[in-house]
């Protein structure tokens, strides 16, 4: 099994200002030993480390952590200055780094003109396409229309939507207007065969007073993703350690098992492992 989305960090208030005092579970170092502890008896064989800071230091840090992990880390999704003239030189540093499989930018909450509707950013993404690097797309649900237009501009770029497009999960389910809008945009996004999706991060998207949850609360949202993308374009992710705000690693694994239990063994295997291997072009063992 492959966890397609987790983070490492050495905590400091200065570098992780988004971690506030009401998030004590995240105000600590989250490195290889801590991940190993939470993975114990999980059945997860390998993980993909995703950037949490927008700097070259983040890439070097993730590569260093990977080298300390005894092959636990199968790949890293780093960061690159996609709007800068120096992008090619920047990416040239990683030509011979086999773990560097993709790039992510923190697009969630930014104006469209900063990234999704920006000619310089488009030029940078085309450089990723040229180098056969994946792109992790992180947006809030209300940014999905702009993200769809962005995906249309890059039909040859492998794109994976992080955290199911961050649905506004609530007890009203898909009867909620915002949830209906999210579902409509997800179905439209999934019409693009070059766009994939991570089944990750859902528990941190539960709204306000509905913060208590169970599998039944998440099922309509998971079903929307499954029906839209199909298991062959969905991959499991934990979003560890951010997931610890509202669940545990074992609890999230158990929840995903429940969310996909009606699928065939081959479909479940795609979500748990095969989609990530194919999308990120991983060189991994045949372990399940």
How many Å apart are CA 232 and CA 266, to the nearest integer? 9
Average pLDDT over residues 130-142: 98
CB neighbourhood size of 262 (10 A): 10
pLDDT tens per residue across span 75-132: 999 999 999 999 999 999 999 999 999 999 999 999 999 999 999 999 999 999 999 9
Q: 156, 122 in Cβ contact below 8 A?
A: no
Residue ranges in the chain assigned as alpha helix (H): 32-39, 56-67, 87-92, 119-130, 144-153, 177-189, 215-229, 249-259, 265-269, 275-280
Which helix (H) or strand (E) segment holds residue 102: the answer is strand 100-106
Confidence of residue 211 (pLDDT cuts 50, 70, 90): low
- Secondary structure of residue 9 in the 3-state scheme: strand
For residue 173, how many C-alpha atoms fall within 13 Å in the half-sphere facing its CB?
Answer: 11
Confidence of residue 230 (pLDDT cuts 50, 70, 90): very high
- Which of 110, 9, 15, 96 shows the shortest CA–CA distance to 50? 9
Domains in the chain with CATH codes: 2-280 (3.20.20.140)
Task: Express as a percent the part of the chain with pLDDT over 90.
Answer: 94
Is residue 283 predicted with pLDDT exceeding 90?
no
Q: Which of 171-175, 220-224, 271-275 has the lowest mean pLDDT?
A: 171-175
Which helix (H) or strand (E) segment holds residue 46: the answer is strand 46-50
Per-residue tokens: 146: 């702009």
How many Å apart are CA 115 and CA 166, to the nearest integer? 18
Mean pLDDT (the chain, rounded) = 95
Per-residue tokens: 160: 């994976």
How many Å apart are CA 267 and CA 274, to the nearest integer? 9
Q: 197, 233 in Cβ contact below 8 A?
A: yes
How many Å apart are CA 62 and CA 100, to the nearest integer? 10
Q: What global pTM score does this model have?
A: 0.96
Q: Which residue has the tokens 């005894």?
A: 70
Q: Which residue has the tokens 């900063």?
A: 114
Q: 50, 77 in Cβ contact below 8 A?
A: yes
Is residue 59 predicted with pLDDT exceeding 50?
yes
């Amino acid at each position: 099994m492959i966890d397609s989305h987790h983070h490492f960090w050495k905590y400091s208030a200065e570098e992780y200002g988004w971690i506030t005092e009401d998030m004590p579970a995240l105000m600590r170092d989250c490195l290889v030993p801590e991940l190993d502890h939470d993975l114990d008896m999980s059945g997860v064989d390998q993980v993909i480390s995703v950037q949490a800071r927008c700097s070259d230091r983040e890439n070097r840090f993730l590569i260093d952590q990977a080298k300390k992990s005894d092959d636990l880390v199968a790949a890293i999704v780093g960061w690159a200055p996609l709007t800068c003239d120096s992008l090619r030189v920047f990416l040239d540093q990683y030509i011979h780094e086999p773990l560097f499989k993709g790039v992510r930018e923190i697009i969630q909450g930014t104006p469209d003109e900063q990234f999704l509707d920006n000619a310089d950013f488009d030029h940078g993404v085309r450089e990723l396409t040229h180098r056969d690097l994946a792109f992790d797309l992180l947006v809030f649900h209300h940014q999905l229309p702009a993200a769809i237009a962005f995906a249309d501009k890059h039909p040859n770029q492998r794109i994976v939507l992080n955290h199911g497009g961050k649905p506004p999960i609530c007890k009203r389910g898909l009867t909620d207007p915002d949830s209906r809008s999210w579902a409509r945009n997800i179905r439209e996004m999934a019409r693009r065969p070059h766009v994939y999706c991570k089944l990750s991060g859902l528990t941190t998207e539960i709204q306000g007073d509905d913060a208590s949850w169970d599998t039944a609360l998440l099922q309509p949202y998971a079903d929307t993703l499954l029906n839209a993308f199909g298991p062959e374009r969905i991959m499991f992710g934990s979003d560890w350690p951010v997931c610890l705000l509202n669940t545990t690693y074992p609890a999230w694994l158990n929840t995903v098992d429940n969310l996909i239990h009606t699928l065939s063994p081959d479909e479940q295997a795609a979500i748990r492992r095969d989609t990530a291997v194919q999308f990120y072009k991983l060189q991994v063992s045949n372990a399940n």
